[in-house]
Amino acid sequence: MPKVLKYKKALVILGPTTTGKTEVAFTIAKRFGGELINGDKFYLFSGFPTSTGLSSFLVTGEVPTHLYQELEPRVDRLSLIDYLLKVNSLVPNILRRNKLPIIEGCSYGYTNAIIEVNKLLPKPKYGPFIGLRWPKGYDLQSKVEERVNSLFREGAISEIERELKESHKYSYPMRKGVITVPIVEMLEGRINENKAKDKIIIGMLDSAYSALRKFLDIKDTIWLKHDSKKFEETISEIMRLVKKENL
């Protein structure tokens, strides 16, 4: 059993999609006494676990989670101010339980807002900020194609059909999701399944590269090239940085 560390700050794990953030965050929370806080605007919504790509790690109940699937589809979205208010309330409560708050996600707006607020605090309560990126030679397109095929097998189409029947066509996830929009077009007969998959793949690739460019502009982020084959090295390095930050 790892030695219990007195945590003073929240760990923030950021980066684009498919970099393994959620699995890394989940593993750290499980091993070292952490609680996960969502930093992805689409994961906030209920009703779309498959079509928003919500990881199966987050529904196991093995670690406490916060701000996942909390908003009804009819809610437009959570503003930066409202998100910060919720996170700023959660973090001290988690720390008082001597648990490690771990914010993970790929929404640049939420993450950048946390960083800017942290700079203004007399006693910063967030850090380290760890960015995960793909390792050298990583075949992002193949990974995205694999994920898209998996989403279709796991019921993304039936999930969107259900939400359409619930009159949620104009909800934020349905209007803005790179996965949901092409599936709606397919269900409405405007494109076929292969075209829908192609549009999703292109959308996910564009979103991933765009997110990385934005995240790279955030100062004070420690970037790690995360290779799933060297998973334990990533965990060890992040915990080394967490311990250093909490001395």
Average pLDDT, the chain: 93
Query: CB atoms < 10 A from the CB of 89, how many?
Result: 10
In what side-by-side order are the strands of the sheet with 100-105?
65-66, 34-38, 100-105, 10-14, 126-133, 221-225
- Residues 40-59 have pLDDT tens digits of 999 999 998 888 878 777 77
DSSP summary character for residue 194: H
Stretch 118-145: mean pLDDT: 95
For the stretch 64-90, pLDDT in tens is 999 999 999 988 889 999 999 999 999
- Which two tokens mark 92? 């001290």
Helix (H, G, I), strand (E, B) or coil at 35: strand
Give the global pTM.
0.93
- Please report, rounded to a whole number, the percentage of residues in the chain having pLDDT higher than 70: 98
Angle among Cα 114, 64, 82 to the nearest 5 degrees reads 35
Q: Is 103 exposed, middle or buried, given 0-12, 13-18 or 19+ CB atoms closer than 10 A?
A: buried
Please count the helices (runs of H) and the strands (runs of E) in the chain: 9, 6
What are 11's strand-pairing partners? 102
- Radius of gyration of the CA atoms of the chain, in A: 18
d(C-alpha 74, C-alpha 170), whole Å: 8
CA angle 129, 132, 135 (to 5 degrees): 150
How many whole angstroms separate alpha carbon 12 and alpha carbon 10?
6
Helices (H), the chain: 21-32, 80-96, 108-120, 140-153, 156-165, 172-176, 180-187, 193-216, 231-245
Q: How confident is the model at residue 219 (pLDDT cuts 50, 70, 90)?
A: confident
- Reading the block at residue 77, the tokens are 């979205």
User: Helices 180-187 and 193-216, interaxial angle, to 10°?
Assistant: 160
pLDDT above 90 covers what percent of the chain? 85
224 phi and psi, to 5 degrees?
A: -125, 135
